[in-house]
Chains A and B, each alone.
Chain A
Amino acid sequence: MVSAMQDFRSGKRPATVMDRIAKGFSDDEIRAIAAWYGAQP
């Protein structure tokens, strides 16, 4: 998930809107988001 978000941010991964959204989050925040998902049942 961290690399998917980073690839959206860099434009490496094609997107309609996730590229625009991912640019608003730092690496730390992306890691925090991934950690939150990882903790969900």
Chain B
Amino acid sequence: MTQGTALPSRRRLIAAAAVGASAATFPRALWAQGAAQPRVVVVGGGFGGATAARFLKRSDPRLDVTLVEPNPIFTSCPFSNEVIAGLRDIKAQYFGYDRVASDGITIVHQTATGVDAGARTVTLGNGSSLRYDRLVLSPGIDLRFDALPGYNEAAAELMPHAWKAGAQTVLLRRQLEAMEDGGTVVMALPALPYRCPPAPYERASLIAYYLKTKKPRSKIIVLDAKDTFSKQRLFENAWKELYPNLEWISLSSGGNPTAVDAAAKTIMSDFDAYKADVANVIPPQKAGRIAELAGVADRTGWCPVDPVTFEALLVPGIHVVGDAAIAGAVPKSAFSANAAAKICAAAVAKLVRGEPPPQPKFVNTCYSVVAPDYGFSIAGVYQPVNGQWLEVEGAGGISPINAPAAFRQEEAKLANGWFNTITAEIFG
């Protein structure tokens, strides 16, 4: 068994690992034989929502499942850093919903504009509404345009965040292409929590790769609101080895981005102002808007959930998966959104029939690619302990610090394998 074939297996074992049953008893559902089938509405058609919809139907084909997603085409964030670096076409990030629909899932291309948790209805942009027995929200993130002075939606057209894939990704790519050799790229990074903790460092690496190979007199400066980050030693070793054109300025070295002046293409930090030729500002984030409208987000802007069912702690009957949820030690990643959605789907399929949900346990693996032939990973195994997702001790961790080039090359290949497998599972 090669690692490549081990990958899909590992994700499929999530379902297998849902062993045992909760000792708690659950009230009988109102649903009875002969009545209408339980209705589950899923809002958001990304890695979390599309997985939830398909695994709900797979858990119980009798369920009436509707997926609400305004966009006819999904654009994947994972691997969009390769698009920014010119290593991949944006079209490779596009996925449609035809195969999701062919599972017998009703797809509604509308924006969810409100939730009435009492009446158990979701309101849509066209004024219609959908009734649900259980609602699954997978709204991803919204960028906080009130958090970094000077950085609002208009500023994002000049200094793209590219933290939601699509037009912003293409905009940043075009700016990099248009930049003269000798220019300076400046990135501004937020504090945790945000979507995909290692992704800004992968992006910085791949931009450095682009500059080194196509614009060798240019450089990239990374201004960070943190002193430590995911896979740090692996990134720093790679930078030392490959990218003398990349400078990372940590929080305690004065890197914390405090404001931006979009018209002047300048980012202010604690001690200095950085004039950019191309600026990539990744602002603080919160759960997607519908989470707030449904009342499932707390003061942090994110959604506390029960780890066994992903049911929101603030509003019963509504589940939250993906980046929007607060899932303890679990990082906000596409991989964990996919795993959470499977666990949530298995739980919801039981709950609508008044049965106890299975006890979950799952794996997260996140690859970073710093050059086309240089990748590494972090993995973790997670289980709920006293209402919190905790990492299983003694498992997981990062790729070896000292590994031969062939190992890095293998993990870069596996990163591609992971992306092809997970997108095939969700959209294929």
Contacts and interface: CB of A to CB of B under 8 A. Distances in A.
Interface of A: 4, 15-18, 20-25, 29, 32-33, 35-37
B3 interface: yes
A25 to B, nearest CB: 7
Nearest to B394: A23
B414 interface: yes
Residue of B12, B380, B381 contacting most chain A CB atoms (<10 Å):
B381
9 contacts: A15-B6, A20-B379, A21-B363, A24-B380, A24-B395, A25-B17, A25-B381, A37-B9, A37-B12
Contacts of B407: 16
Contacts of B9: 37
A16 B381 contact: no
A29 B16 CA distance: 9
Interface of B: 1, 3, 6, 9-10, 12-13, 15-17, 19, 361, 363, 365, 377, 379-381, 392, 394-397, 399, 407, 410-411, 414
Contacts of A35: 16
Contact of A21 (B16, B381, B410): B381
B17 A17 contact: no
Contacts of B414: 16-17
Contact of B365 (A17, A25, A32, A36): A17
Q: Chain B interface mostly helix, strand, loop or mixed? A: mixed
Nearest to B12: A37
A33 B397 contact: no
Given A18-B6, A23-B381, 15 more contacts: A15-B6, A16-B407, A16-B411, A17-B365, A17-B377, A17-B399, A21-B363, A25-B361, A25-B395, A32-B17, A33-B13, A33-B16, A33-B17, A36-B16, A37-B9
A33 B6 CA distance: 14
Contacts of B363: 21, 24
A20 to B, nearest CB: 5
Contacts of A4: 1
Contact of B16 (A17, A24, A37): A37
A25 B394 CA distance: 10
B395 A23 contact: yes
Contacts, number: 66
B427 to A, nearest CB: 22
Contacts of B397: 20
Contacts of B410: 16
Contacts of B10: 18, 21
Nearest to A9: B395
A36 B358 CA distance: 14
- 7 smallest CB-CB distances across A and B, nearest first, come from A24-B381, A24-B395, A36-B16, A23-B395, A24-B392, A33-B16, A32-B19
A16 B16 contact: no
Nearest to B399: A16
Nearest to A36: B16
B381 A36 contact: no
A21 B396 contact: yes
Contacts of A24: 361, 363, 380-381, 392, 394-396
A4 B410 CA distance: 20
Contacts of A15: 3, 6
Nearest to B414: A16
A22 B377 CA distance: 15
A23 B381 CA distance: 9
Given A29-B17, A29-B19, A20 B1 contact: no
B16 A32 contact: yes
Contacts of B399: 16-17
A35 B15 CA distance: 12
A22 to B, nearest CB: 8
Contacts of A20: 379, 395-397
Contacts of B392: 23-24
Nearest to B411: A16
A36 B19 CA distance: 10
B212 to A, nearest CB: 26
Contact of A17 (B15, B19, B379, B394): B379
A34 to B, nearest CB: 8
Residue of B12, B379, B410 contacting most chain A CB atoms (<10 Å):
B379
A13 B97 CA distance: 39
Contacts of A36: 13, 15-16
